[in-house]
Amino acid sequence: MLRCIIVGYGFLGKRLAKLIASGAVRGIKLVGIASSKGYIYKEDGFLPGDLPDDLRSSSMLRLAPASELIDKRIADLLVELTPTNIRDGEPGLSHIRLALEQGMDVVTANKGPIALAYKELMGLAEEKGAMLLHEATVGGGIPLISLKNRCLVADELLSIKGILNGTTNYILSRMHFEGMSLDLALREAQMLGIAERDPTLDLEGVDTALKLVILANSLMNMSKRLSDVKIKGITGITSEAIAAAKESGMTIKLIGIADEDGLRVAPKLVRLNDPICVHGTLNAVSFNFRILGRLTIIGEGAGESTVSALINDIHEVVKTRMRSNRI
Amino acid sequence: MRVKLTLALSDRPGVLLKALEQIALNGGNIVSIIHRRDSITSGYVPVSINVEFPDSASLERAKKGIEASGIPVIEAETLEKAICTILLIGAVKIEDLLRRVHELGSRVAEVSMTGGLTSPCIKAVIEAPSEKLSTLLASLESFAEEQGALLITEW
């Protein structure tokens, strides 16, 4: 049985820990959990009743950094779920490096390390014979990376265009349907927990740009950085502009585009009958393949659905290691 | 792509045939030929030929071939137009937008303004020769930046 540790014990970490401890993901047991408060571990595996709501309330808590847990070499797989840091990717980047250097497989939902150091981390994984899977970094539970890398490996991906940020899509949808101002729609999104208290990264298009960098590097074999993306956010969008678009059978959506002309994020006019024109917190991505042509995929891009991407990546690791008799 | 080629033919037998040969050699399909004999100038007859070319490269090769035969190509106008809607959010004068679009060989087919002075927004439907659309949009992007406005184009 594969042994796994979870680093980052927030919304995703808690849900995933419960699923693994209850045996919902076959072939794996949870032997350690770390957060910014410290870590707990149990080499024979946690059961659902062992899981604390807050690590600080556990009698097993060790007040030491997560790197100490990774360094104990009690696990085969690290699930890295610390919050995204777009400046230097830390602490997630160091956690992933440390795990890969030991030959541990890694599954992550953390955008920072994958956007900032994709080539380095994939190179390290290859060198150490480890797997690094990151479906959960983009589009929540929508299988974007595995769709291309497993189902459409032989076809060439020419472009990616999509709505990759649920918060801005919610705001623009409310402006479109209710005629709200951006400020009012933002306040509503914050009250509902859809937007963060500091929504800057979402509104200014940086979150979309990070996801675009990850998709371009992992699906189009590019070597892009965040600084390579031309970014325009939605802060200048007025209700008058949305109304003018609506009169022409269109609306405004924040779109990330990766193609032969490079990477860019900008508010765009989208026809209401275009398959990419989804509303609320939904994400939608249109791939253009050389042979297949256009393929659009829609789904929830954050929250609970991200757990689906995580367990599928974990399942992939378990399946691969079972085949190679490493467990 | 459909193109209107305007040539200046000397008023002698066989000259038109030379031009038509170059068009045919480069895959052009001739749709119509109009001799504008009423506009003869200094012994030259303007002739307008509507041609369907497979692509812009074949048009360029045909133009070079015609000119190498000693026939001046006065104009090669693309007859296919791209139509796109744009929004400009910010205090921009409509006449400045019209001028910029016109300078780039395109035209504004429809224009409207909403939001008054507090939150102005111009919506324009622009008609441009297909091959000039990306240049036009790039130029409008610079125009919006100069004006401190936000340009939104179709995706």
Cis peptide before A48 (omega within 30 of 0): no
Chain A residues touching residue B123 (CB < 8 angstroms): 244-245, 247-248
Q: Quote the pLDDT of residue A161.
A: 98
Domain with B139 in it: 81-153
Write down the CATH number for the domain with range A2-141+305-323: 3.40.50.720
Q: Kindly determine whether residue B152 and residue A269, on different chains, have CB atoms separated by under 8 Å.
A: yes
- Residues A126-169 pLDDT 10s: 999 999 999 999 999 899 999 999 999 999 999 999 999 999 99
Q: Among partner residues B123, B150, B154, which is closest to A244 by beta-carbon distance?
A: B123
Residue B137, classed as helix, strand or coil, is helix
Q: Quote the pLDDT of residue A326.
A: 63
pLDDT at residue B41 tops 80: no
Q: Kindly determine whether residue B121 and residue A161, on different chains, have CB atoms separated by under 8 Å.
A: no
The b-or-e profile of A142-167 (16+ CB within 10 A means b, else e) is bbbbbbbeeebeeeebebbbbbbbbb
Residues 6+ apart with CB under 8 A from A205: A165, A168, A231, A232, A233, A234, A254, A256, A265, A266
- Residues A72-120 pLDDT 10s: 999 999 999 999 999 999 999 999 999 999 999 999 999 999 999 999 9
- Residues B54-113 pLDDT 10s: 888 899 999 999 999 999 999 888 888 889 999 999 999 999 999 999 998 899 999 999
For A40, A69, A102, A168, A185, the CA distances from A66, given in Å and listed in that order, are 10, 5, 15, 33, 38
Give the distance from residue A294's alpha carbon to the nearest chain B alpha carbon, in angstroms: 14
Q: What stretches of A22-158 show up as alpha helix (H) in DSSP? A: 66-71, 92-101, 111-128, 145-146
How many CB atoms lie under 10 A from the CB of residue A19?
18
Once rounded to an integer, what is the mean pLDDT over residues B24-31?
93
- Give the CATH H-level superfamily of domain A147-300: Dihydrodipicolinate Reductase; domain 2 (3.30.360.10)
Which among A101, A237, A80, A126 has a CA at the least distance from the CA of A171? A237
Q: Among partner residues A243, A250, A266, which is closest to B85 by beta-carbon distance?
A: A250
Q: Quote the pLDDT of residue B11.
A: 80
- Residues A256-304 pLDDT 10s: 999 999 999 999 999 999 999 999 999 999 999 999 999 999 999 888 8
Residue ending a domain, among B48, B78, B108, is B78
Residue range(s) in chain A whose domain bears CATH number 3.30.360.10: 147-300
pTM: 0.84
Same domain, B104 and B135: yes
Of A14, A211, A224, A253, the active-site residue reads A211
Q: Does A243 touch chain B (CB under 8 A)?
A: yes
Q: Kindly determine whether residue B153 and residue A268, on different chains, have CB atoms separated by under 8 Å.
A: yes
- Residues A195-220 pLDDT 10s: 988 999 999 999 999 999 999 999 99
Same domain, B74 and B86: no
Same domain, B6 and B67: yes
Chain B residues touching residue A236 (CB < 8 angstroms): 89-90, 150
d(CA A49, CA A315): 23
